[in-house]
C-alpha cells in the first residue's frame, strides 16, 4: 500500500474522478492523487482535438464538431480503461464522462443539442460510474489567472464571458448530481500543487466521504 494513503480510502475507492471548469487544477490534483495512491492516471485528450483551436476563434461555427470529437474520443478511452484485465489498480481521472454534456449544453444550438443527445444516450449508460467525484471550484478571476499562467496556445483567445457561462453550467450540473458521492472543494484561496497541507486537507476529506454531497473549503469548513 502506498505510504500515507488512508487505508479505508483505498479499500473503498477504485475509480476517482476530479472535475471542474477550465483552469481549476483538475490535472494537477489527478497527478497528486495518483502518486499518493500508487495508481494510474487518466487524462482527457484535449490537444489532439483538431477542431479546438478553431472553436476558440468561432465557437458557433465549430462547437458541434469539437463536441462530437470529445464525446467519441472519451467514450473510446473509457471502454479501453475498464477491460477487466486493466482494472487492477486505483484509477484517477481528470474528467467525468458525463461532463461532456456540460460543455454541449453551453455551446450547442437547439438542433445540434438534439442530435448530440441522441448519440450520448446510446453511449452514456455503457460507461462505468466512479466511486467518488471531486468537483473543484474557483472564482472567475482565479481561473483566468491560472489559464494565462499555463500558457496553452489555443487558449490565448479564451474569454471571461464564456468561462463564466461554463462555470454556471457546471454549478447547475453538480447541484442536481446524485449518481455518486460528490465532494465539492473551493480552491480559490489554496494551492494544492505547491502547498502539501492544502492537498492533505482534500485527501482527508475524501477519506471521510461515504455518500451524498459535501461542500468543503480547506481551512476547516464543510457543509
- Taking each helix axis from N to C terminus, what angle separates 26-37 and 196-208, rounded to the nearest 10 degrees? 70
| Distance in angstroms (rounded) separating the CA atoms of residues 37 and 16 | 11
Q: Are strands 132-137 and 213-217 parallel, antiparallel or unpaired?
A: unpaired
Q: Give the count of beta carbons closer than 10 Å to the beta carbon of residue 168.
A: 12
Q: Are 65 and 92 in contact (CB under 8 A)?
A: no
- Measured CA to CA in angstroms, residue 69 lies from 113, 116, 203 at distances of 14, 11, 33
- Identify whether 94 is a catalytic site residue: yes
Report the run of H or E that residue 216 belongs to, with start and end.
strand 213-217
Phi, psi of 5 (to 5 degrees): -80, 125
Could you tell me how many residues make up the chain?
223
Catalytic residue among 94, 109, 196, 198: 94
Q: Which residue has the cell 473503498?
A: 12
Could you tell me the end-to-end alpha-carbon distance of the chain, in angstroms, rounded to an integer? 31
Strand partners, 25: none
The catalytic residue positions are 94
Amino acid at each position: 500500500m502506498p505510504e500515507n494513503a488512508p487505508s479505508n480510502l483505498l479499500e473503498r475507492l477504485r475509480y476517482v474522478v476530479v472535475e471542474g471548469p477550465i483552469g481549476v487544477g483538475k490535472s494537477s490534483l489527478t497527478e497528486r492523487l495518483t502518486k499518493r495512491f500508487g495508481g494510474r492516471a487518466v487524462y482527457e485528450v484535449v490537444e489532439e482535438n483538431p477542431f479546438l483551436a478553431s472553436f476558440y476563434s468561432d465557437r458557433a461555427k465549430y462547437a458541434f464538431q469539437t463536441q462530437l470529437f470529445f464525446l467519441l474520443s472519451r467514450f473510446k478511452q473509457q471502454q479501453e480503461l475498464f477491460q477487466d484485465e486493466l482494472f487492477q489498480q486505483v484509477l484517477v481521472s481528470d474528467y467525468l464522462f458525463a461532463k461532456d454534456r456540460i460543455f454541449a449544453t453551453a455551446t450547442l444550438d437547439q438542433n445540434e443539442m438534439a442530435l448530440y443527445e441522441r448519440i450520448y444516450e446510446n453511449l452514456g449508460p455503457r460507461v462505468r460510474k466512479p466511486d467518488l467525484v471531486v468537483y473543484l471550484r474557483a472564482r472567475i478571476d482565479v481561473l483566468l489567472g491560472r489559464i494565462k499562467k499555463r500558457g496553452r496556445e489555443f487558449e490565448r483567445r479564451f474569454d471571461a464571458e464564456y468561462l463564466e457561462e461554463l462555470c454556471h453550467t457546471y454549478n447547475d450540473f453538480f447541484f442536481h448530481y446524485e449518481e455518486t458521492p460528490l465532494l465539492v472543494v473551493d480552491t480559490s484561496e489554496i494551492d494544492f500543487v505547491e502547498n502539501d497541507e492544502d492537498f492533505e486537507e482534500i485527501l482527508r476529506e475524501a477519506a471521510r466521504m461515504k455518500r451524498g454531497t459535501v461542500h468543503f473549503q480547506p481551512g476547516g469548513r464543510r457543509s
